[in-house]
Amino acid sequence: MPKPERHIFICLNSRPPGHPKGCCTAGGAQELLTEFAEQLEARDLKSRFRLTRTGCLGPCEAGPIVLIYPESVMYGRVSPGDVSEIIEEHLLGDRPVERLRVPAELW
């Protein structure tokens, strides 16, 4: 497999219901992962971008979290409806989606 242009990490950490920090899984992270996988497949982009599920990435209160390398751009409160914009703007257009970026004090 060739080196990917970017690596997309999606937090799938899970905590018990009612935990004060919350968790990305309860916020819909599995659906988010599925949407990324389906869109990358449909657009024939799987060879350019690598998609990986992770454990906790830190700012649980801002989940679901998506982290994109090599730029180290962290997105928060990402929904499946945001996936097309992230692909078009960030992955293909080299412009991070500012409205979804996690504040610097959390990252």
* Residue 94 belongs to domain spanning: 23-100
DSSP assignment of 51-102 equals EEEES--S-GGG-S-EEEETTTEEE-S--GGGHHHIIIIIIITS---GGGBP
Write down the pTM of the prediction: 0.93
Is residue 1 assigned to a domain? no
Flag whether 4 is in a domain: no
Give 28-81 pLDDT, tens digit per residue: 999 999 999 999 999 999 999 999 999 999 998 899 999 999 999 999 999 999
Q: Residue 27: inside a domain, yes or no? A: yes
Q: For residue 62, give the nearest of 83, 81, 78, 86 by alpha carbon.
A: 78
pLDDT at 1 over 70: no
Residue 10 lies in a domain: no
Residue 69 belongs to a domain with what CATH number?
A: 3.40.30.10
> Per the domain annotation, does 36 fall within a domain?
yes
Number of domains in the chain: 1
